[in-house]
Amino acid sequence: MTNNLRLSQRVQRVKLSPNAAASARAAALAAQGRDVVSLTTGEPDFDTPEFIKQAAVAALARGETKYTPTQGTAALRNAISAKYASENALGYPASHIIVSNGGKQVIYNAFAATLDAGDEVIVPAPYWPSFPDMVRVNDGQPVIVPCDIGVGFKLTARALEAAITPRTRWLVLNTPGNPSGALYDAAELGALAEVLRRHPNVLVLLDELYEHIWFTPQPPAHWLQVAPDLKERTLLVNGASKTYAMTGWRIGWGVGPAALVQAMAVIQSQASSGPNSVAQAAVTAALESPDQSFVVQARAAYARRARFVTQAINAVPGLSLLLPGGSFFAFVHCGGLLGSVRPDGQVIRSDTDLTEWLLESEGVAAVDGPSYGLAPYFRISTAASDAVLRDATARIARAVAALRAAETAGKPASPTEAVQ
């Protein structure tokens, strides 16, 4: 880089995604020959179902390789409209739907279309790291509201009321949540809705990318089933990545008021235009298929893994994990290990120190709590095979046992002994 390159204040307000950074570090160590188990990325370990891939092949054969409309193809938007009608009892015509290059672009479009300098967005923590940075890059101010394990990692009505100011533009809700797996029930959503009814200028961005990955006996209540009167103030953000194991296909969508969607389409028209034609055809087939057995089977696997990881982590002294209600993440509380001593004499003073120790000592790559706005925690992905999760949790237990042994002995080992 030349010395006279001047970067914008906008780009200097944000940083590389911590998930991507942690994943890149793990990959670099693996490339050096280290035995690394990476639990950093929220990506299903399942392959995209075959019938979806075949739909892409058929689209190619039909010559569907041209530009698509900025808002997405009519076929996909109609399929999304039908999905909300049949699954959620919500009526949205195609004009209220925008298809983008993943759910991330939907969220970016929404903030770009609505935020001016100094506008505030309430973001409960722990949060998906892109939320506050996308607010900042669009000149807004994220208002972080800590929601720790004591409240189940969920925003309370009292905390929401206290966070709202005359500058508040949006409330971000994510259920099931990343990184915690928190799942709001109908009563909790209803309490938040009561607060919002007193503040008519606050919009709601509902990130429901993990909508189909829930572990309760019955499907969870939908925000707009609980608060249908807030429909004209709500943007629903969803996509195919998590539900159908289609992360690389990069198709997400936003559903909301027509004026908002049209403004988001203006932003998208200057950023990327319409999404990939073949990927849209594949997602259309996924949504329209009467066979949704993959979704059911994947959900059962994620639930089994969540139970296993919760039991395994809670058996490790100094760690605690609240059973996730959905998604495929575990947000582990590690406050009981702060102050522990590594075999080489270094003190574990933070969750960042702990994640570095897990990687250095046992090759387990996780992401520290501050990346999600809350400490002392770390996040691991449970979107890995049962065998990988058994191996990873055993490694975590060994790494923690080494800490406690060093603390008990009071005598630091040599750095060489520490990594054996």
**Hey, what domains does the chain have and what are their CATH numbers?**
9-47+294-409 (3.90.1150.10), 50-288 (3.40.640.10)
Q: pLDDT by residue for the chain (420 residues), tens digit each? A: 457 889 998 888 888 777 777 777 778 877 888 898 999 988 999 999 999 999 999 999 999 999 999 999 999 999 999 999 999 999 999 999 999 999 999 999 999 999 999 999 999 999 999 999 999 999 999 999 999 999 999 999 999 999 999 999 999 999 999 999 999 999 999 999 999 999 999 999 999 999 999 999 999 999 999 999 999 999 999 999 999 999 999 999 999 999 999 999 999 999 999 999 999 999 999 999 999 999 999 999 999 999 999 999 999 999 999 999 999 999 999 999 999 999 999 999 999 999 999 999 999 999 999 999 999 999 999 999 999 999 999 999 999 999 975 555 544 443 333 322
Residues facing residue 310 across a β-bridge: none
Q: Which residues are within 8 A (CB) of 281 and not within 5 positions of it... i.e. 6 or more apart?
A: 55, 56, 58, 59, 64, 73, 75, 76
Q: Which residues are within 8 A (CB) of 162 and not within 5 positions of it... i.e. 6 or more apart?
A: none
Q: What is the pTM of this model?
A: 0.93
Question: Torsion angle of alpha carbons 196, 199, 202, 203, nearest 10°?
Answer: 40
3-state helix, strand, coil in the chain (%, to 5): 45, 15, 40
Distance CA 227, CA 394 (A): 44
Distance CA 343, CA 418 (A): 5
Query: Among positive and negative, which fits the CA dihedral 4, 7, 12, 18?
Result: negative
C-alpha distances (whole Å) from 258 to each of 85, 99, 121, 180, 231 are 17, 14, 21, 32, 11
Residue bearing tokens 């000592």: 361
